[in-house]
Amino acid sequence: MSNRFDNKRLLYILSGLAVILVFTVLVKIPKERATIKDRIFEFDSTKVEKIILYPKTSLGMSFEIFRDNGIWKVKQENIVSTSRKMEVENIMNEILSIKPQNLVSKNKEKWIDFEVTDSTGTRIRIQDGKGKDMADLIVGRFTFKQVENQPGMYGRNNIQGTSYVRVNGENEVYGIDGFLSLSFNRSFNDWRDNTLSEFSENDVTNIRFIYPADSGYVLSLRDSKWFLDNNPADSANVASYLSSLSNADGQDFNDTFKPDVNPDYQVLIEGNNLLNINVKCYRLQDGTFILNSSLNPDIFFSSKADGVFSRVFKSKKDLI
C-alpha cells in the first residue's frame, strides 16, 4: 500500500510540475518577451532631412546635420560645414539596427544609473522634411568586458560592449550589444568634413610646389619615372609622399581666419581622371600655418610646422 501511495503522490507532483511548465512556456515567457521590442525604431531613411544631436561631451550644446540640395551639412550656431562622408548613413543604419537584448529597468528613478536622462545621456533626434520626429533616442553609458574571441561576436579587440538606451518619452531602459555611446557622444568638429586632399596615387602625373622667393619646383611623371624639374627623384620617397598626400586631413579647425592676402605656399595636384586639387597655406606672424583646400574651400585648418603642413608641403631635399 505504501509503495502504491508514494507512486500516486509522485504522479500528482509530476503532473503539477508539468502544468507549471506549460504555463511558463505558453504564458509567462511570451509575456516577458513581449515587453522587449524587436526593433526600437522603423522609418524610411530616404525621407530623413535633419538629425539633431545633443552630445554629452558638448555639455548640452546641440548641433544639427541637415540635407541641403542633396548634400549633408552640419551646423552649430553660425558655423556650417559639409558633413563627413558616410556619417549620416552610419547614423541611420545604427539607429535602425538597434535590437534590445534585455530590458534593464522600467523605473524612472534608475535613469541616472544608466545615464539616460536629458543631462547625462546623448540625445539623437531624426526628423522628416516637416520637422516631425521619426526617432528620438537617448544613449547612455556603456559597459564592457574582456571575452574570448568567438566568430560573429560584436566586439573590439576581444572586448564585448553593452550600451544602454531609452526612447525619449518612455520609461524603459534597454541594454543593447555594441558601443553606441562611442558612436554618438562626439563633438561638433568630429562630424565635419576635414579633407585636404584625396585622390588615387596612380592618377597623379604632376605636382607643382609654389613657394616664396621662387623656391618652388615641379614634380612630374615622365615615362613611368618621377622627376624634380629635370632631375630624377627618389622613387621610394615620392611613393611615400603620394601615399601620405592621397588622404591628407586637417585636424584643427580655424573658424575665425579670413584671408586678405595671397597664400605663401601652394601645392597644385594634377593628373588623369581627377579634378585639379589646390592646397593653399598662409603663414601667420606667430609661426602658425593656415591650410585650405579646393576640395573644402570654405574651411581652414591651423597647423604647426611639424603638423599636417609638413605632410603636404615638401622641400626638394625630401624627394631627391
Residue 182 has a pLDDT of: 86
In a domain, 239, yes or no: yes
Residue 39 has a pLDDT of: 80
In a domain, 8, yes or no: no
In a domain, 111, yes or no: yes
Residue 161 has a pLDDT of: 87
The residue range of the domain holding 158 is 45-191
Residue 64 has a pLDDT of: 97
Among the three residues 164, 191, 218, which one is the final residue of a domain in this structure? 191
Length of the chain measured in residues: 320
In a domain, 26, yes or no: no
Residue 16 has a pLDDT of: 59
Among the three residues 166, 191, 216, which one is the final residue of a domain in this structure? 191
d(CA 301, CA 195) in angstroms, rounded, equals: 10
Among the three residues 174, 191, 208, which one is the final residue of a domain in this structure? 191
In a domain, 149, yes or no: yes
Same domain, 69 and 187: yes
d(CA 145, CA 239) in angstroms, rounded, equals: 42
Residue 33 has a pLDDT of: 47
Same domain, 49 and 186: yes
Strand partners, 125: 52, 136
Residue 156 has a pLDDT of: 52
Residue 35 has a pLDDT of: 58
In a domain, 49, yes or no: yes
CATH number at residue 226: 3.30.1490
pTM, two decimal places: 0.81
Same domain, 78 and 151: yes
Answer whether 178's CB lies under 8 Å from 201's CB.
no
Residues in the chain with pLDDT values less than 50: 1, 5, 25, 27-34, 153
Taking only Cα atoms into account, the Rg of the chain, rounded to an integer number of angstroms, comes to: 29
Dihedral sign of CA atoms 205, 192, 310, 238 in order: negative
Domain count, the chain: 2
Minimal CA–CA distance to 187: which of 66, 55, 21, 2? 55
In a domain, 18, yes or no: no
Same domain, 173 and 216: no
Minimal CA–CA distance to 245: which of 310, 180, 148? 310
Same domain, 217 and 171: no
The DSSP H or E segment spanning 187 is: none
Average pLDDT of the residues of the chain: 88
In a domain, 123, yes or no: yes
